[in-house]
Amino acid sequence: MVEGDNHFSIDSKNGTLYMLLSADREATSKYVMTVQALDNGPVVRSATVTVTVTVTDKNDNAPLFSSEKFTKSVTENAATGTSLGRIEATDIDEGANGDVVYTMTSANLQLSTYIALSSSTGELTIKGMA
């Protein structure tokens, strides 16, 4: 190996590449290294190649809310469709592992009939009086 990273080692006899440290896609998603092959001739000849290792994602992070607590207020008799703003969470994983879906897990019956939560955006809106 000519240049690389301490995450890898290579068997100089058979070219097997070994991973020495575990990878974290959220820290480094790709490793690029140069590997050189040398012959044993009287005048040594060589070739180099670029090796790219891509780290695929594992769902190892939970979504994180942007705040520990959200407080919203609404004026009485607010019209149906009035937005109360968003409850926001982000997930640093990739693709479906990082998609956030919002659901109301506990709300008093009155609240869930009066306020709607968008499962995709986390936006709260007034549904209208029951």
Q: Does 97 help bind Ca ion (rule: CB under 5 A)?
A: yes
* Chain-centre distance for alpha carbon 92: 3
Residue closer to Ca ion (CB basis): 3 or 60: 60
Q: Considering only residues 4, 29, 55, 93, which one is a binding residue for Ca ion as defined by CB under 5 A?
A: 93
Q: Does 91 help bind Ca ion (rule: CB under 5 A)?
A: yes
Query: Is 62 in contact with 81 (CB distance < 8 Å)?
Result: no
Q: Considering only residues 29, 61, 82, 112, which one is a binding residue for Ca ion as defined by CB under 5 A?
A: 61
Query: Is 114 in contact with 129 (CB distance < 8 Å)?
Result: yes
Q: Does 59 help bind Ca ion (rule: CB under 5 A)?
A: yes
**Residues ≥6 apart with Cβ < 8 Å to 58:** 25, 93, 97
Give the binding site for Ca ion (CB under 5 A).
57, 59-61, 91, 93, 97
